[in-house]
Structure 1
Amino acid sequence: MEELVRVETHGSLALVALNRPEKRNALNPLMLQQLHQHLLQLSQDPTVHVIILYGEGAGFCAGADLALLEQARKENNFQAFSEAEELLQECVKLLATCPKITMAAMHGFVLGSGLDLALACDLRVAAAGTQIAANNVRLGLVPDGGATWALPRLIGLGPAMAMLLSGDPVEAEGAYRLGLIHKRVHAGRHLEEAAAWGGELARCCWGAHAAIKRLARVDPRLTLEAALKEEREAQKRLFEDGLPSRSAGRTPS
């Protein structure tokens, strides 16, 4: 089986690579299945404390595989698209709720579903020049991996609405000022810096980290589960209404 997600462990750190560089790490069902399996295993591994997600090649992740989207639309088969969407949401929930510290080490481009994965992580590191965009709207769709829930809570409603409604990219420096990322680092050092930070965190009390993460994720107004369900319903309606062409409004990387 093709290794679309690769895992290396270094002591208490697990490095999880999105490994489809020839497709800009675009997410397809097999890739999401592998990611989910690895995350599930790592979440249960007592020797792992920090999980670092990163992308091979030119960028972190370009989002969903548009070929899958176009084929599903051509065949009027929302079910095929929905299955991939469900896998994405399961990965998001694991990153957000597993008892490990999860961290996104980002470079190049972080688009659409790639942003959903990054937002699900507890911490985010980005290299200079990284382009971050919730560009789903440019395909006539809504985010379906939690961005409508996570972005307003992370950076405030105003900046979040600007990102969600426009699909415009924000570079690493601007993302840092917004609070979207925690550290911006020199180009090419995103993984090294994330691993160094993860190593520092792993020296702290693991039980306390798990408890803090669980408590900090509680929201009295709307749960992530409820938000994910709402996104899937909205996505289905938009899909059935028809999608614009692939070339319309593509976000630059």
Structure 2
Amino acid sequence: MTAELRAERQGDCLVLRLHHPETQNTLTAALCAAVLEALTTAQRDAEIRAVVLTGTPRQFCSGLHDTAAQESLHDCILALRDCEPLVVGALEGQARGAGAALALACDLLVAAEDAQLQLTDLLLPGQDVGGAQWLAAQLLPRTVCNEAALPGLGLNAARLHQLGVVNRLCPPGFSLQTALQLVEAIPG
């Protein structure tokens, strides 16, 4: 595990916290590798019912740190999509670029009311970072994808909830708690 990812068990949940506040939680190759390792561990542990992916209190993930991370992102996205325990994203602040791809790869998404998803970097021709264009096209209407790709525009949590992308809205600072409550409410 890297210092950029903090893993903590909370009951039958594994909480993965992206923790690189100096760079607003940009994804490095090491961070992607640590997420992959943690998801593999979660799949092998029969006691883990869910994985909650979150960031620091004010920032989910602001994108890729460098091109080395871009090569690792696709594997990370596939691992999130294929993970056998349920993966719940707990979104605070912004999820930009590759961070938006991580959020969209989660099975369920909880977002603080002031959270934003910014797809600008991901929806440009030839910029399908980690399969984010495909993910966005699966979850959002084409016209909404086009809007979210315009510079300076993003999708706020209320709009994402209205579109059915976000399952639960919560006050800022409560996305992790709300995600854990959501998992707890699921029978099993």
Same fold (TM over 0.5): yes
Distance in 2, Cα, partners of 1:135 & 1:27: 17
Deviations 1:32-64 (A, max 9, x none): 111111111112211111100000142100011
Distance in 2, Cα, partners of 1:7 & 1:133: 26
Distance in 2, Cα, partners of 1:160 & 1:135: 9
AA aligned to 2:56 is: E
Contact 1:137 1:166 in 2 (8 A): no
TM normalised by structure 1 equals 0.69
TM normalised by structure 2 equals 0.91
More helix per residue: 1 or 2?
1
Match of 1:189 among 152, 164, 174: 174
Shift of 1:167: 6.1
Distance in 1, Cα, partners of 2:44 & 2:149: 34
Deviations 1:168-199 (A, max 9, x none): 21111111112221111111111100000011
* Match in the other structure for 1:77: none
AA aligned to 2:25 is: N
Aligned pairs for 1:33-182 within 5 A: 33-65=33-65, 68=66, 81=67, 83-136=68-121, 142-166=127-151, 168-182=153-167
Shift of 1:140: 8.2
Unaligned 5+ runs, structure 2: none
Shift of 1:139: 8.6
Give yes or no for the alignment of 1:27 onto 2:12.
Answer: no
* Match in the other structure for 1:9: 9
Shift of 1:90: 1.0
More strand per residue: 1 or 2?
2
Unaligned 5+ runs, structure 1: 69-80, 205-253
Instruction: Answer with 1 or 2: which has the greater Rg.
Output: 1
Deviations 1:120-158 (A, max 9, x none): 110001001112111216998623122211112212222
Contact 1:134 1:167 in 2 (8 A): no
Q: Give the count of matched residue pairs.
A: 188
Contact 1:62 1:112 in 2 (8 A): yes
Distance in 1, Cα, partners of 2:122 & 2:51: 30
Deviations 1:44-90 (A, max 9, x none): 2111111000001421000111xx3xxxxxxxxxxxx2x42231111
* Match in the other structure for 1:249: none
3-state DSSP of counterpart to 1:146: helix
Contact 2:88 2:109 in 1 (8 A): yes
Distance in 1, Cα, partners of 2:123 & 2:13: 36
Counterparts in 2 of 1:139 and 1:3: CA distance versus 1, 3 Å: farther
Contact 2:122 2:133 in 1 (8 A): no
Distance in 2, Cα, partners of 1:47 & 1:2: 23
Distance in 1, Cα, partners of 2:114 & 2:35: 26
